[in-house]
Chains A and B, each alone.
Chain A
C-alpha cells in the first residue's frame, strides 16, 4: 500500500517561467499533503502543509504567492513554482498522509532553473 506518484521526476526551465509538480496518492486518500524541498547536502525542509479543500499553510520564509499549492482532491495535490529563478533550483518532495498509512514520500522532482 501507500503508493505515491510524483511527476515530473526532473525538469529544467528558464528563469521566469512556471513549473507545476503533481503528486498523486494512488491507493489511499491523502487528507493532508506536505511539501518539502531539499537543497544539496541539506536535509528536508517543510515548505507547506495542505488539507484537502483548504488553503495551504506555509512555513516561515516560504512565499505563498510564489509556491502555489492546490489540494483539490484526496488523491491529487500540485505545487506550482511561479516565476522560477535559479535559487529555486532544488529537490521537491511531496508527502501525502491519510488513513492507516504513515509517512510516505513521492519520488521527488529535481528542478533546475537556468
Chain B
C-alpha cells in the first residue's frame, strides 16, 4: 500500500461545477496535510494546508480532513478552465521528520 494515494484521473468536470479530489494516507499519526496544484512543466504551488479534522475554506477551495478515516479531500467550487491542472496531495508523515510524501496526483480537466 502506498503511503499517500490518489486517483490519477483524469477527472473531467464542466465549467461551473464542483470538482472533488480525494486522497487517502496510511500513517495514522500524520498531522499535516497539503494540497498543491501543478501546471504542466511548472513547480507545485500550495493551495491549502489543513491540520485539524473538519473543513477549511479559502475562496473557491475547501479542504476536508477526516483523520479517523485517514482521508483528506479538496473541493473546488465554480470550477474554471484555468483550474485544469494536476492536484497533488501531500502528507507530512509522523515518522519522517519534516519531509512531505506526495500522492501520485489527480489530473483535473475543466471543460468550458
Contact = CB atoms under 8 A, between A and B. Distances in A.
A87 to B, nearest CB: 20
Interface in A32-66: 32, 34, 42-46, 49
B46 A103 contact: yes
B99 A44 contact: no
B72 interface: no
Interface residues of B, number: 19
Interface in B59-111: 88, 90, 97-105
Given A34-B100, A104-B46, 17 more contacts: A6-B43, A32-B98, A34-B99, A42-B104, A44-B88, A44-B102, A46-B99, A49-B97, A49-B99, A91-B41, A102-B46, A102-B49, A103-B46, A105-B44, A105-B45, A106-B43, A108-B42
